[in-house]
Structure 1
Amino acid sequence: MVKIVEVLPSQADLISRSLDLVSEKITEAIALRGICTIALSGGSTPKALYEAIATQNLPWEKIHVFWGDERYVPPDHPDSNQKMARQAWLDRVNIPSSNIHPMPTAADNPAADAGQHESELREFFSYSAGELPIFDIVLLGMGDDGHTASLFPHTEALQVSDRLVTVGNKDGQPRLTFTVPLINNARNVVFIVAGANKQAALAQVFAPEADAMTYPARLIQPQGQLWWLLDESAAKNLNLVTSEP
């Protein structure tokens, strides 16, 4: 794993740097493998990034979009990560509908929908049971409780290692989420974190020793590159190493 930490002066600079990095990794993946697979996160900070990506001139037909997690709501619900990304980015560019791979939420059975999406991932990536797909880019945020994707503190989803997609739980509300092993198999994992309310959790995530069950973002240790892009408000008072092999 290669870990790279960058602190940007403002949230606007954070979005600008995130746009440059994601565009670079998309271009790199397409040059090497002919397509790029990217998994999106929800939240207000990624929304600004998606709006910026929508202004770019990228080969949309070669980009396949997934989600790292999804609230268990219909796709037209205000809380839907899919809806947010479509409005901010996907509906504004000429990307083929077949290149968009949302998590299903219509079965009234989160576990069944998680299993369906896992089958869809295996079919798309042509990986058999026991193997893990490799995403080019997984975008992640982090909550002020240290959660990422829908991997919340002290929940069963944190320890699922035999599936690609599982059911997360937020205050009794189910969500679908990539599992830790799937995220960690990515070529590039990019955390985008802004705001002073993230300082306490970041201190634990970056600490030499802390409980990963309490701060799940610590579990994300990908086989490829791990990027932490932070604004100054989030990174304040952290003793950061800017990069490490």
Structure 2
Amino acid sequence: MNRAVGGRPRPTPSPPNGAAGAIPPPAAPEPPAMDIRIFDSEDEIAREGAKYIAAAARQAIAARGVALLAFSGGGTPVPMFRALAREALAWHAVHVFQVDERMVPAGDPDRNFAHLNEALLAHVPLPAAHIHPMPVEDQDIEAAARHYEAELAGLTGSTGALDLVQLGIGADGHTASLVPGDAVLEAADRAVAVTGPYQGHRRMTLTFPALNAARARLWLVAGAGKEDALRRLERGEHAIPAGRITRRDSLVLADRAAAGDRL
């Protein structure tokens, strides 16, 4: 009891919500810290990334008899693809999907699959039926996206979980082909969707639900101009698409050019 002027007791105020002695609800748990490792060069990132993917694939094969991997495009992962081709894996048990692809003709240098095939797939004994390129040349691209989603679901089952997705990040904070302002960012019930135009092309992409359902995520971040995006990724800022990817079971490999003065 608190004492008021005049000596008369003043009742102690009740706790919020009027429940005497009520215990406030626990605070929301902090998201896990992001595991970010900085290397001197892109070559080191390539080697470490290949080792990480190979280890994840071996673990998946040991646990479930198959490894389901999805790779992004761009120039950054190409050296890693070459390093991964040198890893001793049970390739007959591996399936390779794409994270995203531009809607351009086969053989076009802008096709992500062309780089993936040249640097990795052409050099490993992967069964042809285990290679899953995005069908971006189909006339009905929306139907093609649904077909790819069904193809993915046929292997991931009810969990929808790929074993590993490899991601990158752009200076604008995009990842996969999930770019700021695109309606596909709000696709909550699709694993695969088609974007609007971005840098001259529409794209097919895995969505947030598919990327967040994966058992592991490997980020490769290299080159100048990525410092701010990397910092915002680390903080989990939902204002950028990359910040909406779960931190759970995620590893970021970055070079010093991308890390900037954060070291």
TM-score, shorter chain, exceeding 0.5 = yes
Q: Tell me how far 1:111 sits from its aligned partner.
A: 1.6
Q: Tell me how far 1:172 sits from its aligned partner.
A: 5.4
Name the residue aligned to 1:242. none
Instruction: State the number of aligned residues.
Output: 231
Name the residue aligned to 2:27. none
Q: Tell me how far 1:235 sits from its aligned partner.
A: 1.0
Aligned with residue 179 of structure 2, among 152, 170, 179? 152
Q: Does the 8 A contact of 2:69 with 2:162 survive in 1?
A: yes
CA RMSD of aligned residues (A): 1.7
2:96 equivalent to 1:69: no
For structure 1, which segment, 178-187 or 16-25, has the greater mean C-alpha deviation from structure 2 after superposition?
Answer: 16-25
Name the residue aligned to 2:207. 179
Q: Tell me how far 1:232 sits from its aligned partner.
A: 1.2
Q: Does the 8 A contact of 1:110 with 1:174 survive in 2?
A: no
Task: Give the AA of the match of 1:219.
Answer: R
2:41 equivalent to 1:14: no
Task: Give the AA of the match of 1:204.
Answer: R
Gaps of 5+ in 1: 240-245
> CA offsets, 1:100-123, max 9 Å, x none?
111111222322211111121122
Task: Give the AA of the match of 1:185.
Answer: A
**Whole-angstrom distance in 2 between the partners of 1:110 and 1:85:** 22
> CA offsets, 1:13-66, max 9 Å, x none?
111111111111111111111110000010111111111111222111011000
Q: Tell me how far 1:238 sits from its aligned partner.
A: 2.4
**TM-score of the two chains, using structure 1 as the length reference:** 0.88
Q: Does the 8 A contact of 1:30 with 1:36 survive in 2?
A: yes
Task: Give the AA of the match of 1:200.
Answer: D
Q: Does the 8 A contact of 1:110 with 1:175 survive in 2?
A: no
Task: Give the AA of the match of 1:85.
Answer: L
Gaps of 5+ in 2: 1-30
Provide the identity percentage: 35
Aligned with residue 73 of structure 2, among 37, 42, 58? 42
Q: Does the 8 A contact of 2:235 with 2:243 survive in 1?
A: no
2:262 equivalent to 1:238: yes
**Whole-angstrom distance in 1 between the partners of 2:245 and 2:157:** 24
Q: Does the 8 A contact of 1:103 with 1:117 survive in 2?
A: yes
Task: Give the AA of the match of 1:147.
Answer: H
Max Rg structure = 2
Secondary structure at the aligned position of 2:225 is classed as helix
> CA offsets, 1:150-194, max 9 Å, x none?
000111111110111011231452100001011001110111000
**TM-score of the two chains, using structure 2 as the length reference:** 0.83
Task: Give the AA of the match of 2:180.
Answer: P
**Whole-angstrom distance in 1 between the partners of 2:140 and 2:87:** 38
**Whole-angstrom distance in 2 between the partners of 1:122 and 1:144:** 32
Secondary structure at the aligned position of 1:37 is classed as strand
Task: Give the AA of the match of 2:56.
Answer: K
Q: Which has the higher contact order (CA 8 A, sep 6+)?
A: 1
**Whole-angstrom distance in 1 between the partners of 2:178 and 2:216:** 19
**Whole-angstrom distance in 2 between the partners of 1:164 and 1:23:** 24
